[in-house]
Structure 1
């Protein structure tokens, strides 16, 4: 086996990093920055994508298992979706009001998501979770918000994991509980003393740096029962998971339906859009709140979303993602064992998270992802990854050939 140890060309990427640092605080910020938190071979800037592959600005090619951190659910440059968006673009995007796609998309969401009687739109996941929370407060007349500890629901002052610039007052109405722990949730309810406006949860626990944890049926049904008992809104945050687990709703498998669901990321295959859908009981409250944005009614993203959801439905995109994800998980597990590593993979196969046993400082997983990236396989050392309907079994087979070399290189750095 020949080990590829020469770093890929990074001339253009390096120059753009320097230029960005001169004019942008931190260079690149948020979850997409690679400075100080990613392997050295990880590119920062990209030029294009097609299907399940991306090319960085130095024209290095990668099989991409990040999908732009989730939005690319049907593959980069999907011709059907891009054609729908382009057809609206020539007519106009931000107009004096919404396009016909506004109504078409709302109708499609109501037809697709099992609990939805209405839909509202915005531009990103933080918008969507915020709209749901404000709607819950408008309906209930209460203030407290219950959320799972460490759960990420957006980048506003309520939810951000970074306390810089956030005051205690910004978080005063949040009470936390442990995921999959109904006793902990009941304790949070008691602490709120009858003032719970909403309980917000993700379909499974997907906190960065930690093993993902699937929800139990008992917990899912318990959240629904508790919210109903105390008259609070139950909000399911599917910003990250939407349309990758179940088109009708992530907790349909448990027979559990929320009062509202927040979507973004994959809803429009990379075009900026978010949505909140809800049941009839919250429709009047949703109509009463004031939320808006100059770009929220843009027709291009809505046309793309109609095409995306229709394509995923008609081609059973979730089945395709699951097949590729299952093959990749099985292959990685077998390779890790063959090279003497204990590899832990958690979460749904379409949104995998991986770590190495006895690797608290992340040295092995950083070395492995560094070796994989140099071989053209884009993996992440501490964040969950994503599959799209464009990932084929051939893509997985090619990626596994390269990850086998990456495991071998990592073993050479960490001998038994």
Structure 2
């Protein structure tokens, strides 16, 4: 009996919840948090989180390198963020209108993000990217949108990678280009002609699960900016996944490129449901003219959490910390993989690492390794990038590497 199998017998509460969920939730679970296709050692349901660690409903503890798929940047149950949220909750959350926190948060984002002159808010990443596209089309009076091939920008009818439930008309105005390929970008713009409303792009390519992550080349980033300018189109930066992990501001600022609109979510409120679009003055009128709203878009608690969280991230060089601990993790995993005869590729920034096994049809090695790691209390993902946070310490990395050494060894024994 493998340790993975033993772990299954230690999850009776999780198993019971899965059975109950299957009766009342379509498919038992849905979306990117569905663990059905992952090894059985992964829990579906959790009880609590603290710092860089999670506890599932059966009391099993994990060093977490997924951070809720990105939202937890300052650590689970961060005391500063939670105190700010609790103070606002004591006064009220969804009221007859927004609280003063909305203005304060907008001011903070404008002060923090170089290209930003204003901010609007929603609840999740799809809200933000949809809002940005709508503003771009309203401002330009044009329809076509360029996006990276296979890039993910939300779960609406325009961008959802699963077309089931949408129509060809929903995607008729989307034209694809290849990331870091200027010729492909220019060809897509030529196809759009005089009807190009905008270009939506992520700071780096993080599509997965087959392709490696790729940082943006300087020439490509600047070509995107120049193409938007030549065509009177809007450059939209999707920082839903990357926001504040790479740069405390706009991710392409170090490349000398400022977008017109930036979509944020995930990490800006450290796990509280919040998203934002920030933009330049030239687009403020269009942003005001469109109709965009939601009953919970103006709630004060998440905005109070966002103010506290961004304040924490501005106090120190948090991207440098995440890069440091991420590099320690990456270096340790590389050595362990080689010791066990695995060829792996690690790509992307260390704060958002991705590990791929070479010659791994069906992701058998990735599943074996991450399953064995989960059985030992380390949460990684076989086909999605991971996330580091400011709560991850050198000791967390050392503890995790002690366990992943065993996970690599088990994966080698299972695969032969």
Pick the TM interval, shorter chain: over 0.9
2-side partners of 1:347 and 1:27: how far apart? Answer: 33
1:286 counterpart = 2:287: yes
Superposed counterparts of 1:3-402, under 5 Å? 4=3, 7-8=6-7, 9-35=10-36, 37-209=37-209, 210-402=211-403
Aligned counterparts of 1:258 and 1:7: Cα–Cα separation in 2: 50
- Counterparts of 1:410 and 1:295 in 2: how far apart (Å)? 45
Deviations 1:99-158 (A, max 9, x none): 111011101100000100000000000000011111011110000111011000000000
Equivalent-residue separation in structure 1 for 2:82 and 2:262 (angstroms): 26
Q: CA deviation digits over 1:286-334, x for unaligned, max 9?
A: 1111100000000000000000000011032222211110100011001
SS of 2:82 mapped into structure 1: helix
> Could you report, residue by residue, the CA deviation over 1:239-275 in whole angstroms, capped at 9, with x for unpaired residues?
0000000012110110100000000000000000000
> How far, CA to CA, are the matches of 1:348 and 1:288 in structure 2?
38
Q: Gaps (5+ residues) in structure 1?
A: none
Q: Is the 8 A contact 2:201 2:236 kept in 1?
A: yes
CA distance in 2, matches of 1:240, 1:145: 20
- Say how many residue pairs are matched: 412
Give the CA deviation at 1:391: 0.3
Give, in angstroms, the shift of residue 414 of structure 1.
2.5
Provide the rounded CA distance (Å) in 2 between the counterparts of 1:279 and 1:360: 45
Q: CA deviation at 1:5?
A: 5.4
Secondary structure in 2 matching 1:49 = strand
SS in 1 for 2:6: coil
Could you tell me how far apart the structure 1 residues matched to 2:166 and 2:408 are?
42
> Distance between the aligned counterparts of 2:393 and 2:141, measured in 1?
49
Moved more, 257-266 or 312-321: 312-321
> How far does the alpha carbon of each residue in 1:37-92 deviate from its partner, in whole angstroms, 9 at most, with x for none?
21121110001000000011111000000000000010000000000000000100
2:405 aligned partner: 404
SS at match of 1:200: strand
Structure 2, gaps ≥5 residues long: none
Measure the CA separation in 1 of the matches of 2:375 and 2:144. 47
Cα drift, residue 4 of structure 1: 4.7
Cα distance per residue 1:134-193 (max 9 Å; x no partner)? 101111000011101100000000000001111001111111111111111111111112
Question: Which region of structure 1 is more displaced relative to structure 2, 310-319 or 64-73?
Answer: 310-319
Instruction: Kindly indicate whether the alpha-carbon contact (under 8 Å) linking 2:348 and 2:354 is maintained by their aligned counterparts in 1.
Output: yes
Residues of 2 paired with 1:188 and 1:92: CA distance? 48
Structure 2 CA distance for aligned equivalents of residues 141 and 171 of structure 1: 18
SS at match of 1:250: coil
